[in-house]
Structure 1
Amino acid sequence: MSTLQTGLKGKVALITGSTSGIGLATAHVLAEQGCHIVLHGLMDQDDGLSLASEFAAQYQINTFFSNADLRDANCIHEFINNAVNALGSIDILVNNAGIQHTQDVTNFPIEKWNDIIAINLSSAFHTIQKVVPLMAKKKWGRIINIASVHGLVASANKVAYCAAKHGIIGLTKVVAIECAEQGITVNAICPGWVDTPLISKQIDTIATDKSLSYEDAKYQLVTSKQPLPEMLIPREIGEFVLFLCGNAARGITGSALPMDGAWTAQ
C-alpha cells in the first residue's frame, strides 16, 4: 500500500481502461488513498459490476462501472453523466484507455487508424470537455493523460499510435494553459516499456521467431530502445499518477513527463 499522504480521501477518480494493466493498477493506488473509483473497460456489465463491488468492499469506497464505447462521443457523454449522477462529481480524470496496431503506413488499415485515433486521442478530448466544468466549480481538479514515449519520439509501423500519443501531449498543453487559473492541473505521463499483457505477446513473438528464451527475448526488446534493461510495472505508473494528484505537484502542469528508462535521453 502506498504511504504517500495526498489528502485525496473522498475525491472521485475516473480512470478509462481500468479493468487491466496500468489503469487497474492506478485504480488500486487511488482507492488505497480513499478515492471513490469510476472503473471503465472492455468487460461485460456483470463482470464489471463484480469488479466494482470488489473495490468497494476492499477499500470501503463508492464505485461505478461502465463499458462505454470510447469511439462514440455520445456514449462517453452518457458514461460521464451517469458516473456523476452515481458518485457526485469527477475530481480526478485519468485518460488511460488505448489500443495498438502495427503496420507500415502504406498498408495501414483505415479502420485501425480511425479506431486508434478515436480511442487513444479523441476520447480524451471528450472526457476532458465534460469534466473541466465540474472541476472548475470546485477550483480543484487533476487530469492525467497516459501518453507514451511514442508521444515524444517515433517508431516504425506505429503511425496511428504515434500520431495519437503526440496529439495527447498537445491536448495536455492546451488544456493546462486554459485551466491554469482554475486550480486544475493537466499532465501527460510518457512511459517506455511497461510489463503488461500487450507487451508479453510481443515478447512471445520474438522468442518464437528467434528461438530465444522468454527472458532473453524480453531483454532484447527492452534494450533495443532504452538503456535501462528493465520494464516498469503498472503500479509504478499508478504511483506517479498519485504524486501528480497531490499538493506537492500543484505547480506541475502542461508537462509531458517521461518514465522511459532514458529512451528519450539518447
Structure 2
Amino acid sequence: MAIFSSEVFKNQHALVTGATGGIGYETAKVLARMGADITITGRKEAILKQLKEVILSEQTQVNIDYVVADLAESSDREKLIRSAQNTFGPISLLVNSAGISGGSIVEELSQDVLERIMHLNYTVSILLSQEIYKTMKENEVGAIVNVSSLSGLRGTYGGAAYVGSKFALNGFTQSFALEAIKHNVRVNAVCPGYVDTKMGRDAIRKKADRENNSFEEQWEIESRNLPSGRITTAEEVANTIAFLLSDAAENIVGEAVKISGGSVMR
C-alpha cells in the first residue's frame, strides 16, 4: 500500500545495502517512490540489475545506480562510498540492511562462523556508518536505519551468533544515536520477527527440521502463533524504515522499532 508522498525524499541521496535481500530490495523500491536518488549495493549483480530495472519501470524519473560490493572488504566499502557520492552527491539517508543468518548451538559453533556473522551483521554496519556519517555531520543532516531483528531483543535456540550480532547492532544504534543527534543526524533500528523473505523462510525451514514438521506445517504454526495471524511482509518492514528516515519521525531517536505481528506480547 502506497501511503507516502513522492516528494518526501526529493533531492536526497539514499544508500541501501543488502539490496539483493528481501528487505533491502523492497526498501529501495519504497524510497524510490518517495523521490530519493538511490544507490543500491550487494554481491549479486544480476539481482541489482533486475532491481534497477523494476524501479525504473515504476518510476521513470528516478535516479538510481548500483554498485556490486562485498561489504566485508574495506576496499569494497571505499569503492561503494566513492562511486555513490561521485554519482549522486552526499549520502543523507543510509539503510544498513546487509547481513547474514546462520550459526548453531553453542557447543557446535566454530570461531570462523561466529566471527563472520559478527563481522557482517555488526562490525560492517559500524564501519560503513562511520565513513558516511562524516559528511552527514558536516552538513548537519542525515538519517540512518539499521535492520536488526527481534532476535536482537530476545534469545532463540541455536542463535548465539546471530542473536549476539543483533543485540550488538541494537547497542550500537543506541550509542551512535546519542552522539549523532547532536549534529541533526538520527539513528534508529527496525526489529522484525519472521519476514516473508528467503532468509525468513530458511529460518522457518530450519525450525521445521528441528521440530520434525514440514515447511508448510511450520509456516502455519508460526503464523497461527502470531496475534495478527500472519507473517510480516518485506514491504511492511520497508515502509517502517522509510517512515523512520523521514521528517515525520524527527523526534524518534535511538529506537528499536518492533515489527512482530504481536508476538512480543506472548
Pairwise same-fold verdict (TM > 0.5): yes
Structure 1 residues 3-152: aligned runs within 5 Å: 3-5=3-5, 7-44=8-45, 48-49=48-49, 51-56=51-56, 58-59=58-59, 60-152=61-153
Q: Percent identity?
A: 28
* 2:25–2:51 Cα contact (<8 Å) kept: no
Q: Secondary structure at the match of 1:180?
A: helix
Q: Once the 2 structures are TM-superposed, how far is the Cα of residue 249 of structure 1 from its aligned partner?
A: 0.6
Separation in 1 of the partners of 2:180 and 2:73?
A: 25
Separation in 1 of the partners of 2:227 and 2:17?
A: 30
Aligned position for 1:235: 235
Distance 1:50 1:235, change over 3 A: closer
Q: Once the 2 structures are TM-superposed, how far is the Cα of residue 145 of structure 1 from its aligned partner?
A: 0.4
Distance 1:100 1:208, change over 3 A: closer
2:247 paired with 1:247: yes
Distance 1:173 1:213, change over 3 A: closer
Q: Which amino acid aligns with 1:33?
A: M
In angstroms, what is the RMSD of aligned CA positions?
2.2
Separation in 2 of the partners of 1:248 and 1:182?
A: 18
Separation in 2 of the partners of 1:213 and 1:53?
A: 32
* 1:193–1:222 Cα contact (<8 Å) kept: no
Give the gaps of 5 or more residues in structure 2: none
Deviation by residue 1:7-63 (Cα, 9 ceiling, x = unmatched)? 21121111111123011001000000111111112313x653454354345322222
Q: Which amino acid aligns with 1:181?
A: K
| Worse-superposed segment, 106-115 or 165-174 | 106-115
Distance 1:3 1:221, change over 3 A: closer
Q: Which amino acid aligns with 2:262?
A: A
Q: Which amino acid aligns with 1:243?
A: F
Distance 1:112 1:209, change over 3 A: same
Distance 1:47 1:233, change over 3 A: closer
Deviation by residue 1:207-227 (Cα, 9 ceiling, x = unmatched)? 89745572x321223456x44
* 2:23–2:234 Cα contact (<8 Å) kept: yes
| Worse-superposed segment, 164-173 or 110-119 | 110-119
Distance 1:223 1:157, change over 3 A: farther
* 2:144–2:186 Cα contact (<8 Å) kept: yes
| Worse-superposed segment, 54-63 or 9-18 | 54-63
Q: How many residues align?
A: 263
Q: Which amino acid aligns with 1:232?
A: T
Q: Secondary structure at the match of 2:132?
A: helix
Q: Once the 2 structures are TM-superposed, how far is the Cα of residue 115 of structure 1 from its aligned partner?
A: 1.4
TM-score norm. by structure 1 comes to 0.90
* 2:150–2:192 Cα contact (<8 Å) kept: yes
Separation in 2 of the partners of 1:47 and 1:235?
A: 17
Separation in 2 of the partners of 1:96 and 1:165?
A: 12
Q: Secondary structure at the match of 2:182?
A: coil
* 1:153–1:264 Cα contact (<8 Å) kept: no
TM-score norm. by structure 2 comes to 0.90
Distance 1:49 1:227, change over 3 A: closer
Separation in 2 of the partners of 1:128 and 1:64?
A: 20
